[in-house]
Amino acid sequence: CLLSAPGIEQHVFGEGEQETRKNFADRSDLLPEIVFNWWDCLTELEKDMIVKPDTTEAKADEITTLGKYRNISKYRRYLYNVRRDVEKGLVPARKSLGLDNLTPFADEFKSYIMVKYRTDIFTKEGNFDGRKFWPKYAEELADTVGFLRSIPLNIIVTSHIQYSLDEENVQKAISPEAQKLPKEWMPNIDGKLRFSLGGLFSYCFYLWAEEQPGKDTEYYAKLEADQNNIGLAKARFQPFDNPRRIKLPKNKFYDFLMDNINSKLQAVANKQGV
């Protein structure tokens, strides 16, 4: 779905996401993907330190955290540059941005907060203070995703999902009755952003595939929850007659969505006599 957007520049976090591009070999408008790998943000000395036999796990973790901090910092600065490019009319071939995938990105973002706010979230004795960490993590992660969303291009973000407590019950996660509380399929990220992504984007699709032996795989989406276990499926403008089961054409998602939006808008205009 992400790579079906026109003139898209894929920003890769995690392993192997760029392999999907092989399904779009006939497209000439795809920009080269950009892989953001924390290992590449380490110096040669730091890489050597990690692999030395006498390096402690604590030291290796410290270097890893530093690399992830630099990687997130690098990405934030890159987004600022993209915003300036748009404002200056540069790189006209870049029409869409895709963050692929939010789950490893949000995980690395923890290291960014750990380093940036180290003096705030660790006590003088060196103990981690989660009460100070999580609010800063939530605020800065939402700010970064919000800035990405504000860039005046097509913005697409993918995420893995997890079966977790809904927003109403998430505070009871460690209570004895937690196993009996209702759960939903939500973006697989920590913090409250997983509940508020629907307010940042115009369309939030819950996606799945159906496979049957001897038949082609079929791809579906929900754009409106019809079960209490689907936690994020919504649209600001609903272009589908049955938004609870949308059959998607393979590799043509963007055009399919635009066609449905335009068709529904025209139908509304005709009904109003415009």
DSSP string, 75-115: HHHHHHHHHHHHHHT--TT--EEEEE-HHHHHHHHHHHHHH
The DSSP element (H or E) to which 10 belongs, if any, is strand 8-12
Which structure tokens are listed for 210?
A: 């159906």
Nearest in space to 204 (alpha carbons), one of 165, 159, 167, 164: 159
In 3-state terms, what secondary structure has residue 25?
coil
Query: For 51-69, what is each residue's pLDDT tens digit?
Result: 999 999 999 999 999 999 9
Q: What are phi and psi of 232, to 5 degrees?
A: -145, 100
73-102 per-position pLDDT tens digit = 999 999 999 999 999 999 999 999 999 999
**pTM for the full model?**
0.90
The tokens of 239 are what? 């272009």
